[in-house]
Amino acid sequence: MSRRKAPKSVVKRLPVYLRILDNLIRRDIEVVSSRVLSDETGFTAEQIRKDLAYFGAFGTRGTGYNTHYLRDKLLRIIGLHRVTKIIVVGYGHLGKALTRYNAVKNSYVDIVAAFDINPVEEEAIEGLRVLEMQYLPEVIREEEVKVAILTVPAEAAQEVVDLLVENGITSILNFAPTNISVPEGVYVHNTDLTLELQTLIYYSFEDEALHYGE
C-alpha cells in the first residue's frame, strides 16, 4: 500500500511478472501463489510479494493471486493498459529484427512507423510504413508518439536524438553503442549488445585461475 515511487530494481521485474501471467492465463490458470511465481521467474517469493506490495495488496491470504486481476493491475501500473505508440529510427537489420519481433508477439505496443535515411521500399512489411527521416516530425506530431527505439549507427545517434527530443519524444530505447545526452525529463534506456557480450566473456573465464593472476 506504500505510495512512494518504486525503485528501479522493482520496476525492472514488473514486465517479467506480466509475461508469466500471460502464460498462466493462456493455460487457463486462475490463481497463482508467490511460490509458483518464484519458480517461474527465479526471484524469491518474498521479493515478489514485496514488489507487488509497492503498488497495493492484490492477493488473497491463504489462496494467492488471481491471475486476471493481477495482470490487469500490472498492465495499469506499467502503463500498458492502453497500446503505446512507438517509432523505430534506423531500419537496418536490428531495426527490422525489432519490428518483426514485435509484430509477432503481443507486447502491448504498436510500432506506427520506421524511419531511415535511405528507406528501401520493398522491405516494408505488413502495413508498417518505412519512411524517410524528413517525415519524422509529422508522424510524431500526428500520432502523438512519445517513445522511440533508436537503432542508427553510433556516429548519427546524438544528432537523431536531438531531433527526436525536439519533436516531443520523451523516452528512448537506445541500441547505438554510445552515450547520448538528453535534457532533463527525457528517459533513455541503453542496450549495448557489445558490452553485454563482453560481460558474458568475463564470466566465461571467471573460474579459470589464470584469469587475472600474474
Site string for a copy of itself, 132-161 (x = CB under 8 A): --------------xx-x------------
φ and ψ at 170, to 5 degrees? -115, -10
Alpha carbons 64 and 24: distance in angstroms, whole number:
14
Return the C-alpha cell found at 83. 497500446
Site string for DNA, 53-82 (x = CB under 7 A): x---xxxxxxxxx-----------------
49 binds, among DNA, a copy of itself, none (CB under 5 to 8 A by kind): DNA
In the complex, what is the shortest distance from the CB of residue 136 to a copy of itself, in angstroms, rounded to a whole number? 18
Distances in Å between the Cα of 77 and the Cα atoms of 17, 52, 53, 70, 135 are 12, 10, 12, 10, 33
In the complex, what is the shortest distance from the CB of residue 133 to a copy of itself, in angstroms, rounded to a whole number? 20
**In terms of Cα–Cα distance, which of 143, 117, 113 is closest to 130?**
113
Helix (H) or strand (E) holding 92: none
Site string for a copy of itself, 33-52 (x = CB under 8 A): -------xxx----------
120 binds, among DNA, a copy of itself, none (CB under 5 to 8 A by kind): none
In the complex, what is the shortest distance from the CB of residue 177 to a copy of itself, in angstroms, rounded to a whole number? 7
Residues 138 and 122: beta-carbon distance below 8 Å: no
Continuous H helices in 42-153: 45-53, 67-78, 93-104, 136-143
64 binds, among a copy of itself, DNA, none (CB under 5 to 8 A by kind): DNA
In the complex, what is the shortest distance from the CB of residue 46 to a copy of itself, in angstroms, rounded to a whole number? 19
Q: Is 12 among the residues that bind a copy of itself (CB under 8 A)?
A: yes
Alpha carbons 143 and 141: distance in angstroms, whole number:
6
Q: Is 50 among the residues that bind DNA (CB under 7 A)?
A: yes
Interstrand relation of 84-89 and 109-116 (parallel, antiparallel or unpaired): parallel
Which residues contact residue 97 at a Cβ distance below 8 angstroms, ignoring those fewer than 6 apart? none
Residues in contact with DNA by the rule CB under 7 A: 1-2, 7-10, 32-35, 43-47, 49-50, 52-53, 57-65
Residues in contact with a copy of itself by the rule CB under 8 A: 5, 11-12, 14-16, 18-19, 40-42, 55, 76-80, 84, 86, 92-94, 96-98, 100-102, 105, 107-109, 146-147, 149, 170-173, 177, 179, 185, 187, 189, 191, 193-207, 211-212
